[in-house]
Amino acid sequence: METTWKAKKGAAGRKAGGPRKKSVTRSVKAGLQFPVGRIGHYLKHGRYAKRVGTGAPVYLAAVLEYLAAEVLELAGNVARDNKKTRINPRHVQLIVRSDEDLGKLLDGVTLPVEVVA
């Protein structure tokens, strides 16, 4: 009498001892640099709402990444105009005060002042 032995499946549907697939983060799926998972965690545990949809952290990460890229690009241009290789808070303040939309967004924000000793 011949019995056929079937291998048990392990975690995630893999056969026992089989290779594990490389996980793909939601940031990679969305083509973003900002961490979608971490932003989702902050949304859930920050008590902003009882429930958080799956698209909310992706959208918020995309908006934050866009704003960061915009500020860094404009501040980099100001730093280059001033013949500097590094962006300092003064460059950020100059672009925030000169740009209408960023000025409206960051109206009540106090940016740190660079102190030279």
The conformation of residue 111, written as its DSSP 8-state character, comes to: P
Instruction: Give the pLDDT of residue 11.
Output: 61
39, with CB counted inside 10 A (0-12, 13-18, 19+), is buried
Instruction: Give the pLDDT of residue 49.
Output: 92
Residue carrying the six token digits 């490389």? 22
What is the CA angle 113-66-77, rounded to 5?
50
DSSP states along 36-63: HHHHHHHHHHTTS-S---SSHHHHHHHH
Instruction: Give the pLDDT of residue 59.
Output: 98
Instruction: Give the pLDDT of residue 19.
Output: 83
Does pTM top 0.75 for this prediction?
Answer: yes
Judge contact between 58 and 36, C-beta under 8 A: yes
DSSP states along 21-33: PPP--HHHHHT-S
Digitized pLDDT (tens) for each residue of the chain, 117 residues in all: 666 666 555 566 666 667 888 899 999 999 999 999 999 999 999 999 999 999 999 999 999 999 999 999 999 999 999 999 999 999 999 999 999 999 999 999 988 876 666
